[in-house]
Structure 1
Amino acid sequence: MDTTDLRAAASECATHLGALVAADWTTPIPDMEWTVAQAVAHVCDTVLWYATDFAAGPTELSTMDLAVRPSTPPSDLVRTLTTFTEVLARTVDGSRPGDRGWHDAGSPDASGVIAMATDELLIHTADAATGLATPFTPSPALASKVLARLFPEAPPGHAPWATLLWANGRQALGDVPRRGKWQWHCAPLTVDV
């Protein structure tokens, strides 16, 4: 995966969320402890963290507290999402081949950090959309790329988006029960996905 995929995901998410800025983002998301605004603020936080973690290299650097305010107007939260995604994209675009970042799931290369951020964008946009009763379905190509990069154990033969939701523990997948615990495979792969 590369920054083209990341920017495409941010665009899809921002388009969906941007159409919903007049809704009540203080609405709780079913089966979660977050409101819609908290889910979007979380993904903004996460994407910026990934930029700093990738730039800092494979050793954890936790010297700041980062928190996007969920009380921010929804239109500004959407703008924050696209802005922080662009910060990550530019960080990766400026990296050297072989650079690695830090994450507690492993030491991701550029493709791994992009896949993790894309997964976060897609899944938490879907969470927010659930809270607003407006289903979100990203492009199958993006879902397929994230699955291939982060979840090679995912069962084949199902729609990519349904499988990605399963991989993130959001739903069952046909006769495959909902996952409880899961982890990304974010370390460098031997083949380019």
Structure 2
Amino acid sequence: MRDMGGDQVTEAVAESVALLRTATGRDWDGVKAGRLEWSCRRTAEHLASALLAYAGQLAGRPSDAYVPFEIMMEDGTDNAGVVDVIETTGALLTAAIRTTPREVRAFHSYPFHSANREGFAAMGVAEVLLHTHDIAEGLGLAHEPPAALCEDVLTRIFPHVRPGPAPWPTLLWATGRGELPGRAPLTEWRWNNNLAIEAERLTLQGVTPAAAADLRAGGTGGFEWIEGGPFEGTREAAGMVVKAYEDGVHRPEWGMFVLVRTEDGRAVGAMGFHGVPDEEGRAEVGYDLAENARGNGYATEALHALSAWALARDDVEVLFAAIDRTNAPSQRVIARAGFTRVSEDVEQYAYELRGMNKSLRLYARKD
């Protein structure tokens, strides 16, 4: 799997500044940047600010807010100076990514309030590609970034977007900047960093389409696995994620999570959903562990955490699982996690876990 990190940020920034430097002698203040309301100058300054902000989040690692600082250009800074600042802030983000451990997460507001270094790299590259496009469109410059960079972004932070005929037009469409045959234009959009759910000894880390494709193909998905992992069920589940992504129906919070031990950052198994909840609020769960991780209570702990997260949502009423009659260890896990056996056939037992009646919930008022 191609990593998403500092090399991609460096590549994107180098491509951007090379193009922008060809037009620094032109009027950037009086020209709108593509479809934005901002001028080309304001957009370039925003780009530098975004890169610095992402570097600051990774360096400071806040968990509940943005680090409270911002960039300011000195009086008299010309367009060439702004491009120099973009190059510099890009280098700072690259350095922050390269010195941040894989398991570290820092605050980002959308959609799950955190991102890891791969997420910040993808967001940084997206800022560079898209705002360079905006400025280029305003100034009448030709701009088409490398397809691999666009695909890197799409498969990390646009998991909900069905792949199109080519990565760059798809990324432009996904951000309201272009059209694709057979798809309605977008007027609102968001990217999606992966979800991470904390348990006592584990973190359930959402698997991106890029990681799922690598797992399906026999790779690690970018995780450091214990000996004997990942188990074959994990690779099969990764294939389900890839298919859902290719069909345009993947929703990251209802996909697959890799179970990562907090103590050493090693992946021990996988767990997740077979798809989004149905109209009755039912969602199916599945899980497996690498053989060397079994017998330690990891699956039970992770299933408790995943179940609590899901049943706290308004769109989930019940979780269920189907387990082979011959799979006694999984039956013990599902029972310890609070599920109840509700039916059976010649091959499997069916289990359910119901949440609290939504009408009985109490909500605290915050004035």
2:52 to 41, 45, 48: 48
> Residue 142 of structure 1 aligns with which residue?
149
Equivalent residue, structure 1, for 2:12: 9
What is the alpha-carbon distance in structure 1 between the residues aligned to residue 192 and residue 35 of structure 2? 26
Larger-Rg structure: 2
Tell me which residue corresponds to 1:110: 117
Q: Whose strand fraction is larger, Structure 1's or Structure 2's?
A: 2
Normalised TM-score (structure 2): 0.50
Q: 1:60 aligns with which of 65, 69, 79?
A: 65
Q: Offset of 1:15 from its aligned partner?
A: 0.7
The alignment's C-alpha RMSD in Å is 1.9
Q: Aligned-pair distance for 1:168?
A: 1.0
What corresponds to 1:153 in structure 2?
A: 160
Partner letter of residue 21 of structure 1?
Answer: T
Pair 1:107–1:16, CA change in 2 (3 A)? same
Please report how far the alpha carbon of residue 53 of structure 1 lies from its aligned counterpart in structure 2 after TM superposition: 1.5
Q: Which deviates the most, 138-147 or 65-74?
A: 65-74
Q: Pairwise mapping of residues 10-89 of structure 1 onto structure 2 (< 5 A)? A: 10-26=13-29, 27-57=31-61, 58-68=63-73, 72-89=77-94
1:49 maps to amino acid: A
Q: Residues 9-58 of structure 1, C-alpha deviation per residue, up to 9 Å, x if partnerless?
A: 00000111111112211222343211111111001001101111122223
Structure 1 156/86 Cα, relative in aligned 2: closer, same or farther at 3 Å?
A: same
Which whole-Å CA distance do the structure 1 matches of 2:22 and 2:55 have between them?
27
Residues in 2 aligned to 1:68 and 1:148: alpha-carbon distance in whole angstroms: 34
Q: Is the 8 A contact 1:30 1:130 kept in 2?
A: yes
In the superposition, relative to structure 1, how do residues 177 and 101 fare at CA in structure 2: closer, same or farther (>3 Å)?
same
Q: CA deviation at 1:115?
A: 0.1
Cα deviation, 1:111-131, whole Å, max 9, x if unaligned, reads: 000000000000000000011
Counterpart of 1:132? 139
The reply to whether residue 162 of structure 1 matches residue 169 of structure 2 is yes
Distance 1:71 1:139 in 2: 34
CA contact (8 A) 1:37 1:71 kept: no
Deviation per CA, 1:131-190, whole angstroms, max 9, x where unpaired? 101121100110111111111222224211100111111122122122122221123642
Q: Name the SS of the counterpart of 2:71 in structure 1.
A: coil
TM-score normalised by L of structure 1: 0.92
For residues 73 and 8 of structure 1, the distance between their equivalents in structure 2, rounded to whole angstroms, comes to: 24
- For residues 180 and 103 of structure 1, do their structure 2 counterparts lie closer, same or farther at Cα, with a shift above 3 Å needed? same
- Decide whether the 8 Å contact of 1:56 with 1:102 is kept in 2: no
Question: CA–CA distance in 1 between the matches of 2:74 and 2:127?
Answer: 18
Q: Which runs of 5+ in 2 are unaligned?
A: 195-204, 212-220, 223-367
For residues 121 and 135 of structure 2, what CA distance do their matches in structure 1 show?
21
Please state which structure has a larger fraction of its residues in helix: 1
Cα shift readout 1:80-108 (whole Å, capped 9, x = no counterpart): 00100111111111112201111111311
Identity over the aligned pairs, expressed in percent? 28
Larger mean CA deviation between 120-129 and 102-111 belongs to 102-111
Shift of 1:71: 6.3
| Residues in 2 aligned to 1:69 and 1:117: alpha-carbon distance in whole angstroms | 23
Give the distance between the partners of 1:132 and 1:81, measured in 2 at CA.
Answer: 18
Q: Is the 8 A contact 1:44 1:68 kept in 2?
A: no
Q: Give the superposition deviation at 1:2.
A: 1.0
- State the alpha-carbon separation in 2 of the partners of residues 88 and 186 from structure 1: 17
**Which of 162, 184, 187 in structure 2 is aligned with 1:180?**
187
TM-aligned CA distance change 1:9 to 1:63, over 3 Å: same
Paired residues in the alignment total: 193
